[in-house]
Amino acid sequence: MGVRQFKPVTPSSRSRSIPDFSEITRTTGEKSLMEPLTKSGGRDNHGHIAMRRIGGGHKRMYRIIDFKRNKFGMQATVREIEYDPNRTARIALVEYEDGEKRYILHPKGLSVGDKIVSGKGSDSRVGNALPLREIPLGTDVHCVELKPGAGGKMARSAGTKLEVVAKEGEYVTLRMASTEMRMVHGDCLGTVGTVGNAEHELLSHGKAGKSRWLGVRPKVRGEVMNPVDHPHGGRTRGGRNVVDKWGNKEGVKTRNKKKPSQRLIVRGRKRGKATQ
């Protein structure tokens, strides 16, 4: 996996970069695991704009990903590694011994022809999914469940991983990339390894049109508007706090600390600038 740079024949191509797709083995998806993906354009069920700056974007088909890995004890073989337009990570098409095919997130180091398995007693090898209580300390995992059997929720984007750092009673402590430490029940499944396509963060859009392909519409800063259009409009904000177009504060913390799942956070992520 690498990054391709364009020959600077236009201003936009000078700084634009794309992945080389060297790990991709097939360009067409598995039709039985694909379904149409409808777009909202940022509108709610009344047709009103509920989320600004969403619209357009290239037409896509959704790939059904197996986040639960619930075919326990049955070995699967990696058949293809494919591109998924709906996520930053690559996906792998696996075929089980009974002939069923499923998509999983492609972990770094997993190749076509490799064997994977899920469930209790599985080996701690890349691509295998097993309960966190059975994974050795210091192992990197991804696609980790928050509740047993609910499917992987954490560490699913390209290049992400969680580290198993401690086990105490029924819970396992995981270290996230943000340095946050969270306890997860030991029966929750985690897939061994790091999500592939880590070079995704090195890519540059290079032009505004790339954002439009992704369905992101332009954003205009309030400071460059007139006072009639935005509270920040005019020559200066006048030292007031950052607010949105309707005067609501922005940048305030919204996490509900009384929510049961938040009580399992051992240490929150670091915020603000580092102090000497």
What is the domain range of residue 39?
Answer: 3-201
In this predicted model, what pLDDT tens digit does every residue of 186-236 receive, in sequence order?
999 999 999 999 999 999 999 999 999 999 999 999 999 999 999 999 887
Token representation of residue 253: 């913390």
The answer, yes or no, to whether residue 104 has pLDDT greater than 50, is: yes
Higher pLDDT, 276 or 69: 69
User: Where residue 276 falls among pLDDT bands split at 50, 70, 90?
Assistant: very low
Higher pLDDT, 234 or 269: 234
Geometric angle at alpha carbon 84, from 151 and 127, rounded to 5°:
50
- Asked whether residue 125 is assigned to any structural domain, the reply reads yes
Contact by Cβ (8 Å): 194, 161: yes
- Asked whether residue 102 is assigned to any structural domain, the reply reads yes
- Asked whether residue 80 is assigned to any structural domain, the reply reads yes
- Asked whether residue 273 is assigned to any structural domain, the reply reads no
Higher pLDDT, 101 or 260: 101
The answer, yes or no, to whether residue 254 has pLDDT greater than 90, is: no
pLDDT, residue 236, reads 79
Q: Which residues contact 129 (CB under 8 A, 6 or more apart)?
A: 69, 116, 118, 119, 122, 143, 189, 190, 191, 192
The answer to which of 28-42, 90-104, 241-255 has the lowest mean pLDDT is: 241-255
- Asked whether residue 62 is assigned to any structural domain, the reply reads yes
Residue 105: give its domain's CATH number.
Answer: 2.40.50.140
Give the three-class secondary structure for 78.
strand
The answer, yes or no, to whether residue 1 has pLDDT greater than 80, is: no
- Asked whether residue 212 is assigned to any structural domain, the reply reads no
Higher pLDDT, 1 or 111: 111
- Asked whether residue 109 is assigned to any structural domain, the reply reads yes
Q: Rounded to whole angstroms, how far apart are CA atoms 30 and 102?
A: 9
Contact by Cβ (8 Å): 119, 96: no
- Asked whether residue 269 is assigned to any structural domain, the reply reads no
The answer, yes or no, to whether residue 17 has pLDDT greater than 90, is: yes
Higher pLDDT, 107 or 274: 107
Domain count, the chain: 1
Contact by Cβ (8 Å): 10, 206: no
pTM for this predicted structure:
0.90
